[in-house]
Structure 1
Amino acid sequence: MNYKTYLFDFDGTLVDSMPSFVSVMLGILDENKIEYTSDIVKIITPLGYLGSARYFRELGVKNSEEELVAFMNERAKDLYLYKIEAKNNVKDVLFELKKRGASLNVLTASPHKVLDPCLKRLGLFDLFENVWSCDDFSTTKSDPNIYKMAAKRMNVPVGDVLFLDDNFLADKTAKEAGMKVCGVFDEYSRDFVDDIKEVADHYIYDFSELLSL
């Protein structure tokens, strides 16, 4: 099947940012001596900074949501601006899909202040028709409605969109919302590969595989 409309996650899908993301997020919990479960990364990845801040407060962090979001932004800023790189074959594949006339779009939990500069530095920003943060929808990727709203903004039926993400909860929710789903391998979701494959229509270990779907 040749897809015409793609909706990409950012962290762990387009860019190799999960080590940095995890370091920033878990660093806050560790500094506050907060205990957390082994599936913490799976839980917080779809939530965005504000959603993660709310969750951290539920776990016992005393700072306000606003303070926590500010901490996250400050600690992540330089990593996204100068360090984080695109994953293997991402750039070539995106250019090829664009050449074929596909509509390329981004939906991520990361805020625009780190998302946009990173995509621009990597030479990817202008390939996308829409670059969305969850903040643009005032909800998270754990909410099925965000995928329906994104499809509406792209002016396509939700079932015509191929959503790509390395996170199990995001893939599961997008599928429940009616999108086609392609799981993407990332080291930080290695333990959930089988779970993702159960809910996804496709699964890729390298971006080059996307061209044959």
Structure 2
Amino acid sequence: MLKIQEFFEICTGLWKTERTYHYVDRAEIERSFTEFRVTALTKAEKGQILALSEPNVLTTAPLQVDPQTWQTADEQFPGFAIAFQTRSETGETLSMSLKALFVPDIYALSAQETAALPQPVLPQVAEVPLASESDIIQGYYLRDEGYSEAGAIAGRFTYQPIRQTLEMTTYYQRSVAVDQMRIVAPDIRLRTILTYRRPLQPQEAPHQINLIGFGVEHRQPLSLG
């Protein structure tokens, strides 16, 4: 069982993956090959991402965190910088880089204010019931860039230590994405991606699937050079 900090440590390095995407809305299948280079965020980079947060579907104000924890134990706010290159089976290529910060609810000062407001309903696959003694961690997922839409993006995350699984749910303007990573070995990670059409009503759970993607990701040995 990996603690959340250990999960993020394993995620650093060079990963290679082959994925299969099923475009449900147009009955097409596409395969791609991707290389990810992942590094841990510095405290300064974490601060930059936090400063980009702004009111959105999940929060009524820029997200603020417990200042004492931020100053003395910023490892409680894990994150990573990702640079990746993707090549599709048709030869199309895409390169992108982004940074992501994870803020557990326990350290988010605006969480109580936000919890009192109507929240978007998560897709059923992203719902995780919490028991009083649960070790599951939930919180906000902040990025300086989105995959589907440009600009800073906020979402929700759930980390399940016993399953070594991180799940990120992101609300874009036109879609809702559920992205899951599961460490099954120190150098093997399972990845699934579900994309839904975003409902017009905030209290309607996303149910119309547009895209299903999955793949097996392999962490590459450290170079001796």
Larger radius of gyration: 2
More helix by share: 1
TM-score range, shorter chain: under 0.3
Q: TM-score, normalised by structure 1?
A: 0.26
Higher relative contact order (Cα pairs below 8 Å, separated by 6+ residues): 1
More strand by share: 2
